[in-house]
Structure 1
Amino acid sequence: MKRIFLLLSVVSTLVFTSCNNDDDIIDTDTISEVFEVPNVNFIADGDFTVTIPLEPQIFTSDVVLVYRLSGTDPLGDDIWEQIPTTYFLDEGTLDYFTDFSRNSVSIYLDAEFDPLLRQDFSLNQVFRIVIVPGFFSNSVDVSDYDAVMNALNTSGNGVQVIETR
């Protein structure tokens, strides 16, 4: 009887330890969102600031990354540059910087000169806003737009477009 009990114990141990469901894990807490905001104009009346509402609100642990469309590569693909960034121009320095809350993202344009003198930086700008779960942002190079999109398993092609007022 002891041998049968021992045999059953060994067999059941093997059966229960050899089964796992690692391939069936569904990630339900990595919720990211990417949206594009075209036709952004920085004007003096708005103190060269644009505020984009986040609807719905994001979680307090989420991180918001902002990228500016800075041009296209030789193949015609968009080049996204992370904000904050500084440009050293003939007129002086020009900076984009940003902040965010659970409710909105603000993008600021600051320059040593009147930013409207460089309409290629102040008018008709396009931004991509990427909402990333907080724990995830520690494991990826957030300064590389393509690395962020690849890590989130999205190409960025299914981007939601938000029209600005």
Structure 2
Amino acid sequence: MKKITLILAFIGMISLTSCTVEETHVVDNGYDNDTISEVWEYTNVDLHSGNGYSVFLDFPHTTYTSDMILVYRLADYGSAGDVWKLLPETYYFNDGTVDFGYSNDFTIYDAQINLFGYDLAGLDNAFKFDQIFRVVVIPGYYGNKMAAAVDFSDYNAVTTFYNIKEKDIVKISQ
């Protein structure tokens, strides 16, 4: 009787341990083929006294808490290409004191952009109205394993490294 119980227990252990799920993570030439980074572009963003110089950028879908969220502002554009600056971004007076800047924080649902500074009412409208922001979402696994390999302050380096194409950017009007 003891032998039968032992055999049944052994068969039970084998059948339970065979029920595992193994995730494969394929990386080919430095590019992760099963993890997709995303970019959402928000246009017509206005930061003014009416909204407290603050605005929420609602994400098209919920992100994961492990995801890396980077927010860039279109600071300039021209024949040489667009100039994207990573937030937080600060501008200073000639004497080195803070004039104004942009900061951000985020949740899994949205990013909040804040304009802060000395005299926001007197700030040139070019810094307050019709701003364009891009939110880059890098999945946690991918970002954590290869974060040292890319300069996050350089938007073009980020999109190249994570294989983000201009045609894949989701445009969202505020």
Q: Is the TM-score greater than 0.5? A: yes
Match of 1:70, as an amino acid?
A: A
1:65 partnered with 2:70? yes
Match of 1:152, as an amino acid?
A: Y
Q: Distance in 2 between matches of 1:32 and 1:158?
A: 10
Structure 1 residue 22, shift from structure 2 partner? 8.2
Match of 1:160, as an amino acid?
A: V
Q: Bigger shift: 54-63 or 131-140?
A: 131-140
Q: Distance in 2 between matches of 1:22 and 1:96?
A: 36
Partners of 1:43 and 1:116 within 8 A in 2: no
Structure 1 residue 157, shift from structure 2 partner? 4.2
TM-score between both structures, scaled by the size of structure 2: 0.72
Corresponding residue for residue 88 of structure 1: 92
Structure 1 residue 134, shift from structure 2 partner? 2.1
What SS is found at the alignment partner of 2:158?
helix
Partners of 1:41 and 1:122 within 8 A in 2: yes
Compute the RMSD of aligned alpha carbons.
2.5
Q: Distance in 1 between matches of 2:27 and 2:73?
A: 38
* 5+ residue gaps, structure 2: 1-25
What SS is found at the alignment partner of 1:135?
helix
Corresponding residue for residue 135 of structure 2: 129
Q: How many equivalent pairs are there?
A: 141
Match of 1:132, as an amino acid?
A: I
Structure 1 residue 26, shift from structure 2 partner? 7.2
Corresponding residue for residue 170 of structure 2: 160
Q: Distance in 1 between matches of 2:127 and 2:27?
A: 48
TM-score between both structures, scaled by the size of structure 1: 0.76
What SS is found at the alignment partner of 2:160?
helix
* 5+ residue gaps, structure 1: 1-20
Q: Distance in 2 between matches of 1:160 and 1:89?
A: 36
Structure 1 residue 107, shift from structure 2 partner? 0.5
**Structure 1 residues 135 and 22: alpha-carbon distance in aligned structure 2, compared to 1, 3 A threshold:** closer
Instruction: Give the percent of matched residue pairs that are identical in Structure 1 and Structure 2.
Output: 32
Partners of 2:38 and 2:164 within 8 A in 1: no
Q: Distance in 2 between matches of 1:44 and 1:22?
A: 48
Partners of 1:115 and 1:122 within 8 A in 2: no
Structure 1 residue 146, shift from structure 2 partner? 1.1
Partners of 2:32 and 2:142 within 8 A in 1: no
Partners of 1:116 and 1:122 within 8 A in 2: no
**Structure 1 residues 45 and 61: alpha-carbon distance in aligned structure 2, compared to 1, 3 A threshold:** same
Q: Distance in 2 between matches of 1:47 and 1:143?
A: 27
**Structure 1 residues 80 and 115: alpha-carbon distance in aligned structure 2, compared to 1, 3 A threshold:** farther
- 1:44 is matched with which residue: 38, 46, 49? 49
Q: Distance in 2 between matches of 1:56 and 1:125?
A: 22
Match of 2:42, as an amino acid?
A: V
